[in-house]
Structures are given as C-alpha cells and as structure tokens.
Structure 1
Amino acid sequence: MSEIRLYVTATEKGAAEILDILSGVFGEEDYAIATTEVDEKKDIWEASVYLMADEEEIVRGRMAEGLQPAFPDVAIEREVIPDVDWIARSLEGLKPVRAGRFLVHGSHDRDKVAPNDISIEIDAGQAFGTGHHGTTAGCLEMIEEVVRGRKVRNALDLGTGSGVLAIALRKIRDIPILATDIDPLAVRVARENVRRNGIASGLRLETAAGFHSPAFRREGPFDLIIANILARPLMKMAPQLASHLAPGGSVILSGILAGQRWKVLAAYNGVRLRHVRTIWRNGWVTIHLRHG
C-alpha cells in the first residue's frame, strides 16, 4: 500500500495556522503532520498530512472540514510518495545542523564533524527527528543547558521519534534513559539509530502510548522529562507528566507553535511547574519548566 501526502500551499504564517488546525483535527492519531518551506523569497510554504492511500477519502474530508472556516478557498493537493527514492533524495539535501555543541548529520556528512563536536548521526527516514526542524534543534540546545546547570540522575524521552534527543542526552550524561514512542516503527528506527551512534547500554526503548506502560512506574520518577510532541497532547497529559517527575525535576517541552505557548504554560502552571526559559526557533518554541 503506497503512502501519500495531502497538502495545501500557504504563506509561512498561514502554514503555521493550518498546522495548528490540523493538529486539532487529528489530535493524537497516527498521522504525521508537518510544514515545509518551498520558496523563501516568495514566502511559499506547504502544510502536509501523511497517510496511507486507502485512508485518503476519509482524511481528505476531515481535512477539508477542519480548514473550511478559516481557509474556505484553500485547495488540497495530493502527492504519491515513492518508498525508497524519496528517502535517498531527501538525504542528499540534508545539511548538518548545529545546536550548541551537538552536530546532527547524516552518514554522508561524517567528514563535517569537527574534533570538539558531539556527533549525532541520524539519516532521514521514517521517524521524525533529524535535527532540521526548529523543535528538535531547540530541544537539543535546551538539553545541554539543563544538564549543565542541574544534576540529572535519570531521564525520560517521551515521543522519541528517531531517538535523536535521547541519544544526545546519553552522549553527554552517563545516566539511565527511557525513550518511548506510540509508533512501533519509530521505536525500531530509534533502536537502529542508537546502535549507529555507538550507544551500547543505558538507553532503553519501548513502545508505549502516553504513560500507559509499567516501564514509567518501574524506572521513574524522572529528574528530566523531554516531550517533543504537539501542543494539545502536551496540555492533555500535563497531570500525568507532572506525576512522573521527581521533586525538583525539569521538563523540556516542544512541538509548540509560538502562538500556543501561553496555553501550554497555563496547563503546566496548573500542575505546579514553573517556567524557566523559552527558546524561539522558526515560529516554534521549546520550553523549560521546573518542579518546585
């Protein structure tokens, strides 16, 4: 069964608004939703939903209904995604990304790693998180800042995707890390990335939806919880997330559009987590909160 992309074309501002709408329409369902810059000078962006071909009719209808009030004239276009060639082509265009001391790069750019870089090798593939999105880069920068300023004894990477954030943390701190994702494919990809980056122990990967796994109780509470997901699921899970945080622990949240920042902060203030710092990148924010 082939994978397809349903997308609409807009300005950067419009694409961000559309992404917010689509995140609300599809909630925590297993659809990848993203925005992509097409032409910087002309301010042309695309907001996309990725799905299997047999779901197209239902997803297109829900997408059109959700966009109708704010974008009544927008056209939903369709692209069939080749299985292998698309990944190979995407690799060619991905340049190394620097976030603090971290350098996230593909296997084709190993020669770009400098002696003082903390190298994280992630090839473009089927799981989110190559470091090129503002949310991932913001999290990497925040991770380095948080562990430099506070003692962290264990950590949780919730919604790990490619595993890039858990790998980054393990490379700078020799602590036990639990990394989970709702998607079994993402966990398999993350496990391969962990191996590729030479991490032999200390990082455990599990498939888990939300906090529904005995692993959270067994390995928590956590001194640091990282969750790069989307604003609405983050707000919904605030009480559960806070209950798995150790006293004095830190939380790093991302996948949040700048306009959603105050809603997310309000949800976490409600469970007694206080704001420490926000990083802004390309219309997205990464937030550090602390218990106590």
Structure 2
Amino acid sequence: MTTLWRLTALSDFATLADVVERLDEAHPAVALSWAIFEESDGARLDVLFQSMPDEAAFRRASGLAEDILVEFGPLPEEDWVRLSLQGLKPVEGGRFTLFGAHDRDAVAAGQIGIEIEAGPAFGTGHHGTTRGCLIAFSEMLDAGADPKTVFDLGCGTAVLAIAAAKALPAAEVLASDIDPEAVDESTENCTKNATPGIDCFVAEGLDHAKLAGRQFELVFANILAGPLVELAPGVADILAPGGKVILSGLLTEQEAMVRTAYEAAGLTVHRQPPLEGWETLVATKG
C-alpha cells in the first residue's frame, strides 16, 4: 500500500470551512480527501495526500492564509483511518448504521448494523463515498429490488458486501480487492458481522477466474474515477440484463467523465445527490 501524507491546519471553523469550499471546487483535485473537526478551542482541518504535498501549491489552491500554520508528514498505513476517525460517531447510510465495537448499542431499531473498526483498508462509512453507496442501495431496496447475485469490486473493508449480505440473505455475494491486506481485513469483517458466506478474493480489476463468464444483478464499485472509467466496458459486460452498478469514489468535477464512460458502455446513468463533494452514480443495463 502507498504511504499517505496528512496535512493538519488549526483555525476557527468558518475560516477552515472556506478552505474546504475552495478544495471542493478545485480542478483537478489537489488531495485525496479532507475533513473539518470541531475542537474545544476552534477547528482542525485534516487533508490526506497520495504523496508528500507541496505546501505552497496547496495554499494557492485552497486559499489557506500564510498566517495559518500547518503540519504535515507521512501517515503510517496501519494508522491513517484510525486517526481520521478519532471522535467520530456511528454513521447512518440509508437503512444501514456503521459502528465500532464501542458503539454496539448505538444501532437504532429497524436499522441494519455493520461493525467496522478503523483499519488499514478504506471503507469505514464515515466517508461520503461509502455513505453514498449505502444510501443508493437502500433506495433500491425500498423500491423492491431483490438481486440474487452481488459483486463488490474494490471492496476495501467489505462494508458494501456485508450490507448486501445482511439485507439480501438469499443472495450470492462476492467481493474482491487488488490489495491482499484489504482482502484479509474483509474476511475478518465478514466473520465479525456473521456474513461468512461472502466470497472475498484478491483480483486486479475484473481479471479473475471467479468472474469469468459471470453476470451480476448488482455491482458495487466504490474505487476512484480513473479505474472506474477504465473498467466501464468490463463492468457493463458483467452486469446481467436489468442489473445495476453503484459507482462512487469520484469527486463532483469527475462526475461527467465517469457518467460519459458508462453511457458509452450502453448503460443508463442516474446521479445521486452529492455528499461532501463526492458523487454516487447508479447505472442500469437495459
């Protein structure tokens, strides 16, 4: 896994909110993700980067004033999600509630609980992309959808696969990730959530014997805009007629590019309301 870098800035909430608004509008995106946390004496902005950030370039893109001091450094792979979740509470996404072990009593009646601890793999539910997928999936279920075959492409922590297995106990659910560490964590999460029937395996994109000749009624693809575009023809091929794919991991400025790729692959694309600058698309075959 690539070591990420975290930049931290402390100021008042309104000032940092203006910075986040600039980051949301920046094209191309200048960082992987960003979030504001309220502190006792103000607010903290955490920004995650794929590699060591250029502080001057970041200040220009974000409008962060020179008198606001920043700290940044490499974030150990095993710690970055855990650190970013300090102080966060259980998260609801449609009919699903994601929680850590310390919040097992926080799931409201009627909600489907999914226990996910902070760890090295992406997909804790506190990010707009994961929540967007869960909300879109919930809306499908509310509309009467009952897919019997589900595939979580780039599963991370297997949050979405677990949601499918819990909501659709009769469905066959597969989950893959390019990272063996993520697949190990996914397998542990499936056991923890009493969904051991999910088949988790390592695969690069759609290249795996378990996927050869297969079609699925529902596919989750919460990855990144570039891979989503590259995989569009293959995702269309593995969708059964009438099947749907829930796409996320893309910023608002990347939405048109991803939507165009899936429309070109023959799918009808519906845009969900954005969450925190992140987009979720639902594409249907036929």
2:186 paired residue among 182, 185, 190: 190
The 5 Å alignment of 1:272-291 reads 272-291=266-285
The 5 Å alignment of 1:1-292 reads 5-7=5-7, 11-16=19-24, 20-21=28-29, 33-38=32-37, 45-49=45-49, 59-60=51-52, 64=54, 71=61, 78-81=72-75, 92-147=86-141, 148-173=143-168, 174-201=170-197, 203-217=198-212, 220-292=214-286
C-alpha distance after superposition, 1:77-134 (max 9, x if no partner) = 5325468787766665120111122111100001112232211000111111111111
1:188 is displaced (CA, Å) by 0.8
1:71 is displaced (CA, Å) by 4.2
- Stretches of structure 2 lacking an aligned partner (at least 5 in a row): 10-15
* Matches of 2:80 and 2:226, distance apart in 1: 30
Q: Retained in 1: the 8 A contact 2:23–2:30?
A: no
Aligned length: 270
Structure with higher helix content: 1
Give the secondary-structure state (helix, strand or coil) at the position aligned to 1:125.
coil
Aligned letter for 2:36?
A: E
C-alpha distance after superposition, 1:204-241 (max 9, x if no partner) = 001111111111115x2111111001112111111111
Give the secondary-structure state (helix, strand or coil) at the position aligned to 2:109.
coil
Identity %: 38
- After superposition, the Cα gap between the structure-2 partners of 1:258 and 1:109, relative to the gap in structure 1 and judged at 3 Å, is same
Aligned letter for 1:121?
A: E
* Matches of 1:99 and 1:239, distance apart in 2: 29
- RMSD of the alignment, in Å? 3.3
* Matches of 2:62 and 2:80, distance apart in 1: 31
TM-score of the pair, normalised by structure 2: 0.81
1:243 is displaced (CA, Å) by 1.1
- After superposition, the Cα gap between the structure-2 partners of 1:20 and 1:186, relative to the gap in structure 1 and judged at 3 Å, is farther
C-alpha distance after superposition, 1:214-272 (max 9, x if no partner) = 11115x21111110011121111111111111111101001111222111111111011
Give the secondary-structure state (helix, strand or coil) at the position aligned to 2:274.
strand
Q: Retained in 1: the 8 A contact 2:177–2:183?
A: yes
Aligned letter for 1:15?
A: L
Q: Retained in 2: the 8 A contact 1:247–1:291?
A: yes
- Stretches of structure 1 lacking an aligned partner (at least 5 in a row): 24-32, 51-58
